[in-house]
Amino acid sequence: MKQPPTRDDSTARPIRLNRDLLRSIFTTDHHTIGLQYLALALLSVAIGTILSLVMRVHLVWPDWRFPFHGSILPEEYLALLTLHGTVMLFFVLTTAPQAGFGNLILPAQIGSRRMAFPLLNAASFWLTAAALLTLLSSVFVPGGVAISGWTAYPPLSVVASAGPGQGTGMDLWLFSIALFAIATTASSINTLTTIVRSRCDGMTWDRLPLTVWGWFTAALLSILAFSVLLAALLLLFCDRHAGTSFFLPAGNLVNGVLHQGGNGSPLLWLHLFWFFGHPEVYIAILPGMGLTSMLLANFSRRPVFAYRTMITTTLLIGFLGILVWGHHMFVSGLNPFASSAFSLSTIAIALPASAKVISWLATIWRSQPAYTTPMLFSLGFVSLFITGGLTGPILAQPILDQYLNNTFFVVAHFHLIMAMAGIFGLFAATYYWFPLITAALGRPSRLMSEPLGRLHFWSSLAGAYAVFLPMHLTGLAGEPRQYAQLTGIAGVKGALSPAGALLAHTLPLNRHITYSAIFLACAQLIFLVNLVRSLRHGAPASANPWKATTLEWHPLLNPLTPLYASEEQITVHRAPCHYQFTLEQEIILAQWMPDNTEDAKRE
Amino acid sequence: MAKGALILTPGTGWWLPVDASAHGPALDRHLLLNLWITLALLVLAHLIVLIGLSGRRRTALTSVWRNEYLPVVALAVLFSGLTLRAERLWAAIRYTGANPAALQVEVTGVQFAWYFRYPGSDATFGVTKPQLVAPGEGNPLGLDPADPHSADDQVTSQLVLPVGREVDLRLRAQDVIHGLSIPEMRLKQNAIPGETVHLHFTPTLPGTYAILCTQLCGLGHHRMNATLRVLSSDQFDSWLVQQEAMTSGQVASPDTYHGSVSRVR
């Protein structure tokens, strides 16, 4: 289905008619859909951050009464953590890199002017928005939000009597995530088809930017993972409402409600969920890894070190990513021999990930790069990826997981590598592609403020480490995650129990973590100010402000230029990140520049 | 209880608590080795970044073999060594069951309490039925009075163990998944409804230790805890005798389960 470009008539001039407004909202233009996804992710990340701050404050000052609410009840704390995990993982880390920047940038990076299925694309976004609304609406139903965490382990998630929020709230959670799974599967099919079918002349597979390889692999994983999740959600729904017993054992007794049906197993859910859940973390981080490779190379004015190996490692991470789900189950009733096998596959995935880090280090080695804000965030990504990644092999050893499982050590690990590195990737992307974001909004291309960007970077890096490094220590001390309260945990006789003493001892460090979390969240206000201010008042950007070599900076692919509508053929002549230095100047050999120089032959 | 409080061992709040199990020291050594290696690699990687960024510009590295594959191979060797060590430790405690002479204790997780059951002098656990569960009537596990083996079973709210003797825990959950965690014993294992998971270990140090729940189980998850008391074998024997006397004579004991006490907070 061919879509004529509609940008110039719908957004450049003031909107007068409601029909125009509707057309610009329910658009099939991939730039706008990308921006819509990014706006949704920005809203979600704001919600998720506020939720986490409320949790942190409650943990260390349990008696503090929140304005308009009062103090936090245990079930409210669990509702907060369920919402925090669900919103952040699905609606931020899955949507923003893959669907947000994927829509905004991916077609241009392969020399295409559109995604393969524009209507499906728009439908995916609106389904995702409906999923978010459904999830948030559970705040207002009787019993409130589900309290079983983003992993929704049964029987807690099956039986309504298991706790507040496990009735209507849990149904809404199920419905929301099912919608999200459908939307993401559709959007991934769109991404894959676009990459396979819409590459321009000369854009061979080994000339694809690594960001495209990241999107490609993440989309492959999405189709596998989300379809399994959708099936699992359906089974869970049937257990809740159709009297089946996929996840409920016979004789299960929850809060006076006896299950007298068939004999299922909660472990089936764990297998299905983590078969989705582990690939999900690679879906969240692979586009960021690709972008990091490209930005480090661009600002170092060098090709990506071991480019072809990086393509291989991206695919290897994707492949191994579907073979490691059992490492979430070492102490969850998995056969001990199976634990050993999953331990090996998990250690194996550390190798392609290490190869990526080594390539990043080798690319920037003695390059005297330009320290722009996107470059700083890419370096921050590398640092956080290393720090968060190195604890991966520790947790991959079942014997150590036997002590560390579900402690704050794990919380520190996945927040550093997935949440912090993931968010740093998104920040790098935002600062880097901001001229294209403003162009997609129908405004002149602008850059974000560099001084504010640097301030944002350094305060975020310091904040991220100040929050998550100490969590390793409280985890080593034995602090379990998902505890609504650390103080005054009484034993049987009302006195402070040994468990209560263990938890109370972590309070000093926990207070430090909370102060740091408040600092980290406040540092994000710098970003918001910069974002809003730069939309109107940012420095005007040239056509290729970072002197990049990839096609999204091609003059013909900028939606603002009249040439965009020309459908003129675009041809690629070389792999990305080729630069030439003479005594006087550097020459940027962008992918689209014709092959008339003898230097290009070197390739 | 005062004596128990004196040897309460909660740790410092930022490092490993006391290690009081037979398999613990090897686990701790391996964990420390891992942490040191991690720290070294972390510092090394950041040094490479800083040094790489500080010097003047030079020509790009060219040898993929030397600068890419060789470090990956080195890491592969390092991780393989760690994995091998870890697998041996894991196999030693998990691949085989407990010694048949081990003390048998059943652990049941219920929202939001742990119950411990000793089989009594007949060394056999009585049958439990979910239909018979009645915490208010002193039968939180649903022991079947029709089964003769259940008559001498003792259900307690504390886990009491003798030092130096292997214990075979059979782990069950009545309602939702719970996570049995005893940090000082370096032990963690989920209890799954519908399954009985065996877990064996040997306490080596008398004391009073924390038992927590580490799998989100509902609104009272954070307060689902119990106490492990490790006694000398003499003390344990007399505790056991005392328990048996109380089961038959219905004498009140601080450790025996009474209806409402453990269920609430």
CA distances from A55 to A51, A72, A491 (A): 6, 9, 24
Question: Is the per-residue pLDDT at B260 higher than 70?
Answer: no
At position B93, the amino acid (one-letter code) is I
How far does A58 lie from chain B, in Å, by closest CA?
14
- What SS3 state is found at A80? helix
Per-residue confidence at B247, pLDDT binned at 50, 70, 90? confident
Q: Smallest Cα–Cα separation from A154: which of A41, A28, A244?
A: A244
Cα separation, A328 vs A396, in Å, equals: 9
End-to-end CA distance of chain A: 37
Task: Write out pLDDT tens, residues A258-312.
Answer: 999 899 999 999 999 999 999 999 999 999 999 999 999 999 999 999 999 999 9
The full DSSP string for A236-258 is HHHHHHS---SS--TT-EETTEE
The one-letter amino acid code at B37 reads I
CA distance A441 to A437: 6
DSSP A552: G
The pLDDT of residue A454 is 98
Q: How far apart are CA A59 and CA B122, in angstroms?
A: 47
Query: How many A-B residue pairs are in contact by the CB < 8 A criterion?
Result: 328
- The confidence score (pLDDT) of residue A243 equals 93
SS3 per-residue string spanning A381-431: HHHHHHHHHHHHHHHCCHHHHHHHCCEHHHHHHHHHHHHHHHHHHHHHHHH
Q: Indicate which of B185, B189, B225 best probes the interface with A, i.e. most A CBs within 10 Å of its own CB.
A: B225
Q: pLDDT (tens digit, 9 = 90+) per residue, A385-435?
A: 999 999 999 999 999 999 999 999 999 999 999 999 999 999 999 999 999
Q: Percentage of chain B with pLDDT > 90?
A: 79
CA distance B80 to B52: 28
Q: Give the amino acid at A211.
A: T
What is the per-residue pLDDT for B252?
A: 45
* Residue A265 identity: S
**Contact of A473 with B14, CB cutoff 8 Å:** yes
Q: How far apart are CA A322 and CA A341, in angstroms?
A: 14
How many angstroms separate the CA atoms of A146 and A239, rounded? 16
Determine the Cα–Cα distance for residues A54 and A234; give it in Å rounded to an integer.
32
pLDDT value of residue A380: 98
Facing residue for B227 by CB, picked from A302, A401, A491? A491
Q: Give the best residue of A366, A376, A577, A586 to mutate against chain B (max B CB count within 10 A).
A: A366
Instruction: Give the pLDDT band (50/70/90) at residue A516.
Output: very high
Beta strands B167-173; B178-182: pairing state: unpaired
Of A155, A391, A492, the CB nearest to B38: A391
User: Does B230 touch chain A if contact means CB atoms closer than 8 Å?
Assistant: no
> Which residues in chain A have Cβ-Cβ distances shorter than 8 Å to B136?
none
Residues 21-50 of B with CB under 8 A from A: 27, 30-31, 34-35, 38, 41-42, 45-46, 48-49
B-proximal residues of A, 332-361, CB under 8 Å: 332-333, 336-337, 339-340, 343-344, 347, 350-351, 354-355, 357-359, 361
- d(Cα B252, Cα B258) in Å, to the nearest integer? 9
Within 8 A of A501 by CB-CB distance, chain B residues are 8, 10, 210
Place of tokens 């291989």: A312
**What are B146-187's pLDDT values in tens digits?**
999 998 999 999 999 999 999 999 999 999 999 999 999 999
Phi-psi region of A257 (alpha: psi -120 to 50; beta: other; left: phi over 0): beta
| 8 Å CB contact of B188 and A403 | yes
Distance from the Cα of B146 to chain A's closest Cα (Å) equals: 19
- What dihedral angle (degrees, nearest 10) is formed by the CA atoms of B157, B161, B166, B167? -10
Helices (H), chain B: 2-6, 24-54, 64, 70-94, 233-249
What 3-state DSSP class applies to B107? strand
pLDDT in tens, A350-391: 999 999 999 999 999 999 999 999 999 999 999 999 999 999
Chain B from 106 to 145: CB within 8 A of any A CB: 111, 129-131, 133, 142
Among residues A410, A416, A408, the alpha carbon closest in space to that of A477 is found at: A408
Burial of A490 (0-12, 13-18, 19+ CB in 10 A): middle
List, for residues A532-553, the tens digit of each pLDDT value.
999 999 999 999 999 999 999 9
For A:226-285, CB contacts with B below 8 A are 248-255, 258, 263-267
- Encoding tokens for residue B66? 């030397």
In degrees, rounded to 5, the angle at the alpha carbon of residue A70 between the alpha carbons of residues A66 and A76 is 90
Per-residue model confidence (pLDDT) at position A7:
47
Q: At what angle do helices A307-321 and A266-300 cross, to 10 degrees?
A: 170
* CB nearest to B14's CB, from A333, A340, A473: A473
* Residues of B in Cβ contact (< 8 Å) with A379: 49, 53
d(CA A271, CA A291): 31
